[in-house]
Amino acid sequence: MVATPQMPEKETLFKWALSLVIPLAVYFLLPQDGETLTRPMALFLAVTTWAVVVWATDIINEVAVGILLPVLYIVICGVPQKVAYGPWTSQVPIIVIGGFTLGKILQDTGLGKRIGLTCVRAMGGSFVGALWGLTLAVFIVAPLVPAITGKAAIFCAIAISLCEALDFRPKSREATAVILGTCLAVASSKLCYLTGGADLVLGMGLADKVMDTKTAWMQYAYHNFIPGTIYTAMSVGLVMVMLPSKVDRKTLGPILETKLKELGPVTKAQKTAAFFMLLTLILLATDTLHGINAGLILIMVAFASFLPGVGLMNGDRFSKINFAPLFFIMGCMAIGSAGGNLKVTQWIASITLPFFHEMSPTSAGTSAYILGALSNFLLTPLAATTTLTSPLVELGVQMDMNPRVLYYSFQYGLDNYLFPYEYAVLLYFFSSGFMLFKDMVKVLAVRMVLTTFFIAFIAIPYWKFVL
């Protein structure tokens, strides 16, 4: 009788002990030499490890940790304040604000539910069909919208609406599967097209500069559409296998029809919201023509929703949007900016790239994938692409192999992560509050391992054939 209530307390104390012991071990066990690995770099790695452990054990609210992280980097690691808070001047905060507003519009008008339920019915009325339907929709939009975060804002809102329409409560297995499956569809399909994400365009430009080449859109698609499609199907399929729904088609069918009837005919507000969504897609797809980035587009659409005669948004509705996850997202992004300022990327490159010499193309490509996946723990994909692409491609040239194999493998590594802080897209979906942390990490960990075999036995042989 006495021991039972003490268990949660003992478990909490153990988690607190882990959050202190592991970062201290990281700091004292790292080989600090004052040159390649300085004290501020070691402190940065210890602070970041502390944040990861706290998030993993859930002993402190993730938003609170996100708020504190930039302060710790400034006070403990000596990172300049303008660097630690640099992500706030990027387009990410306004993408979150605009995206959350768009999601609120889809929710309040019922358009998101209508789209989600229609996708389910179109794919046979099954849970698995719903996920494949959303994946197909993502694939259609993927080459048209270069802003990966813009796509995340749109499809996260639709996925949340689908969960609400089918009464999948937050953090249930079904809700986790819908949100995570949609997230992986958005993130993985990016690799199929050069215009799938800004980091791909940047990285390919850096690689082309080293190789003295110019990669066309169709050429990149020829190299990556087939392996990228297989990879996306593998990622979404893994969610279905590891998080199977307890709701079968016979049970889901009547619920689906009832929910669709409850929506009634399409309302004026839904038609207006559909116009705004279509306008958003068009503007995001044509950003190279008008030069307006995704964040500004979403903010302009959000503003337009307040206009007289539109009425999709007002002060009362806007005040009910939960913007707390924004502070979690921006705190996580401070990891990349602080790590770049302290030259952690150069340290990673100096200790890893020498091991690539004398490797076969398959071994080197697989190692490049692992390097990308490990980089995510300390850097944003954009920061890792900026700092590691050129030396990695130069290494491929020196090894007398096609450097594209290393670059492509590296990009697949950057698309593999375990924790939300590692990637803005995963952060965005996780901040919805619909995903159960342990189920998410379980799926992503298995995906990371499976992708190693995918790179070695499917992607690299394909690239060696077409390059």
Distance of CA 205 to the CA centre of its chain: 22
Tell which wins on pLDDT, 78 or 129.
78
Tell which wins on pLDDT, 121 or 243.
243
Q: CA-to-CA distance for 302 and 83, rounded, in angstroms?
A: 29
**Which of 251-259's residues contact partners 24+ apart within 8 Å by CB, and which partners?**
252/120, 252/125, 252/126, 252/127, 252/166, 253/125, 255/166, 255/167, 256/117, 256/120, 256/121, 256/125, 256/166, 259/113, 259/117, 259/165, 259/166
Q: CA-to-CA distance for 205 and 308, rounded, in angstroms?
A: 45
The string of pLDDT tens digits covering residues 10-41 is 888 888 888 899 999 988 988 888 788 899 99
Place of tokens 């689908």: 162
What was the pLDDT predicted at 146? Answer: 55
The string of pLDDT tens digits covering residues 386-423 is 667 888 888 888 888 888 999 999 999 999 999 887 88
The string of pLDDT tens digits covering residues 156-209 is 888 888 888 778 899 999 999 999 999 999 999 989 887 666 677 778 877 888
Looking at every residue in the chain, the average pLDDT score rounds to: 83
62 is written with which tokens? 């993730």
Q: Is the pLDDT of residue 239 over 80?
A: yes
Q: Is the pLDDT of residue 4 over 60?
A: no
- Say which DSSP state 203 is in: H
